[in-house]
């Protein structure tokens, strides 16, 4: 009987510790954080800030891009804001459909949808929608680190069905090779 009681106490203790860690993770979001594109080796390029605010439903956020980090480009008959590099340009793709901009628990999808990019060669005239960049975010040590996944942005050319807030599924994402991309990571801290 004593072993059973000790086992139950350990289970409840572990559950309480996990709950406490989740609470501290949510608290780490509150306030204004910097957003950087990086190759993982250098300091990176700061592209904006995100302000996180607690609500009854989770944590709301507001992304503010740093205008001076981007150049204005007219590509494939559409305006884009791009970070220009010697070999590649990293162009932000504002998600064109409904987005709650609320983080609930460990679900970071709304924020991932606001951090969509397309890359193009520096000398390319237009863009290719299959060069989409989706940063899959995870919380690590009080910050978010997004790892590059490749995605065909043509999937967003047609509005999703009513009520479908997330048309990009895991099956549409392919983990990118960090050595073949200029900014294989995004860091929010």
Over residues 134-178, the pLDDT tens digits come to 999 999 888 999 999 999 999 898 888 888 888 999 999 999 999
Over residues 85-96, the pLDDT tens digits come to 999 999 999 999
58 within a domain of the structure (yes/no): yes
139 within a domain of the structure (yes/no): yes
Residue among 65, 1, 69, 60 nearest 31 (CA):
60
Q: In sequence order, which residues have a C-beta less than 8 Å from that of residue 49 and are 6 or more positions away?
A: 32, 33, 34, 35, 63, 64, 66
Task: Report residue 130 as tokens.
Answer: 């299959």
Domain that residue 36 falls in: 29-188
87 within a domain of the structure (yes/no): yes
184 within a domain of the structure (yes/no): yes
Between these two residues, 76 and 49, which has the higher pLDDT value?
Answer: 49
2 within a domain of the structure (yes/no): no
pLDDT at 1 over 60: no
6 within a domain of the structure (yes/no): no
Instruction: Note whether 46 and 189 are within 8 A (CB).
Output: no
Count of alpha carbons within 13 Å of 120, Cβ hemisphere only? 20
Average pLDDT, the chain: 86
146 within a domain of the structure (yes/no): yes
pLDDT at 8 over 70: no
Q: Which residues of 8-43 are buried (b: 16+ CB within 10 A; e: fewer)?
A: eeeeeeeeeeeeeeeeeebebbeeebebbbbeeeee
Number of domains into which the chain is organized: 1
11 within a domain of the structure (yes/no): no
Over residues 81-138, the pLDDT tens digits come to 999 999 999 999 999 999 999 999 889 999 999 999 999 999 998 899 999 999 999 9
């Amino acid at each position: 009987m004593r072993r059973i009681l000790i086992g139950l106490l350990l289970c409840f203790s572990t559950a309480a510790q996990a709950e406490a860690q989740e609470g501290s993770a949510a608290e780490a979001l509150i306030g204004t954080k910097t957003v950087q594109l990086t190759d993982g080796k250098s300091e990176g390029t700061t592209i904006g800030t995100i302000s996180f605010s607690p609500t009854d439903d989770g944590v709301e956020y507001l992304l503010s891009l740093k205008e001076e980090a981007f150049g204005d480009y007219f590509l494939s008959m559409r305006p884009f804001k791009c970070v220009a590099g010697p070999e590649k340009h990293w162009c932000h793709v504002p998600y064109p459909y409904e987005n709650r901009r609320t983080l609930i628990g460990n679900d970071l999808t709304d924020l991932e949808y606001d951090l969509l990019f397309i890359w193009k060669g520096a000398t390319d005239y237009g863009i290719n929608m299959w060069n989409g960049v989706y940063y899959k975010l995870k919380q690590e040590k009080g910050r978010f680190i997004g790892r590059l996944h490749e995605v065909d942005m043509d999937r967003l050319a047609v509005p999703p069905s009513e009520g479908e807030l997330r048309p990009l599924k895991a099956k549409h994402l392919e983990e990118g090779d960090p050595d073949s991309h200029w900014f294989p990571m995004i860091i929010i801290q």
